[in-house]
Amino acid sequence: MSKEPNICPYPGLRPFTEEESIYFKGRDRHINLIIEELSGKKFLMVTGASGDGKSSMIYAGLLPNVRAGFFKAKYNKWAIAVFRPGNDPLKNLAGILAPQLHHESAQNVETSLSYGYSALIDLYKNTPLYLDEQSEEWIKASEEERKKIKQNASNLLIVVDQFEEFFTNKENFDKETAIPSITAQLVMNLLIETARIATRDNLPVYIVCTMRSDYIGNAPAFRGLPELIGNNHFFVPRLNREEILQVIQEPAALSGNKISLRLAQRLVNDLDVVN
């Protein structure tokens, strides 16, 4: 009988994936804060130093909680679009949104998004995911019919991971002139306007971004971005002593192993954690 391969619950320098969420420990308090902030503000910029766990908190923290129903929003169902800007943020956003919005053609979604500003909200409203409570169909529907209509409705969550790629990729940003490309500016306008309309009209559309904190100084290159970040910002806190012990010990226990408390405490002491 062949033995099952050993599972390493510590991914190293790469972020935890959603499938590895069971091993992502020590951040429950911070994940709950992110959920609370995002649910009220519709937009949240999560920043921190490289390696601070920004992406892990989204992939292995926020997303599993959303899918499990711990993020209380208008509807039970979620459409979740996760993308990185890369060197063509418009194409990348369209490619991720198309299947979530039940569009067969990513090219058609890209064309629609190219109109800018409210285009993303317009796309969402023109899908079965959106429930228009001012529509004649909804107003005339019986209670039973409304339940069926509401079953098809869905919240929309857009995750922009590695947001700093708007600044690090030369296709998006000219470092010498500090001027963004037309495409990068277009996508930024889409994100800013989507957040504004979702907040104004209380639509179940949410945007969460992760960005290295050393790129915040580049934000003024995009009109409206500094103000948006300033009002909707979550800086990844340092882990305290108890949380670091969880990070060290609990993944090992879940994979059928054990790290002694003495060794774990020695590791924490070497990190010079005070509280």
pLDDT at 150 over 50: yes
- Amino acid found at 245: L
CA distance to 165, 180, 185, 193, 221, per residue, from 177 (Å): 17, 9, 15, 25, 10
Q: What is the predicted pLDDT for the residue at 36?
A: 96
Q: What is the predicted pLDDT for the residue at 32?
A: 96
Q: What is the predicted pLDDT for the residue at 259?
A: 87
222: DSSP letter: S
- Where does the pLDDT of residue 2 fall: very low under 50, low under 70, confident under 90, or very high at 90 and above? very low
CA dihedral sign of residues 130, 133, 137, 141: positive
For residues 111-127, average pLDDT: 95
Tokens standing for residue 102: 């039940």
- Amino acid found at 250: E
- The contacts of residue 209 (CB under 8 Å, 6+ apart) are 44, 45, 46, 159, 160, 161, 163
pLDDT at 260 over 70: yes
pLDDT digits (tens, 9 = 90+) for 183-218: 999 999 999 999 999 999 999 999 999 999 999 999
Cα separation, 189 vs 102, in Å, equals: 23
CA proximity to 155, closest of 39, 71, 75 = 75
**188/261: higher pLDDT:** 188
Tokens standing for residue 17: 């994936």
pLDDT digits (tens, 9 = 90+) for 12-61: 889 999 999 999 999 999 999 999 999 999 999 999 998 889 999 999 99
For residues 97-112, average pLDDT: 94
pLDDT > 70 in the chain, percent: 97
- The overall pTM is greater than 0.85: yes
Cα Rg, the chain, nearest whole Å: 21
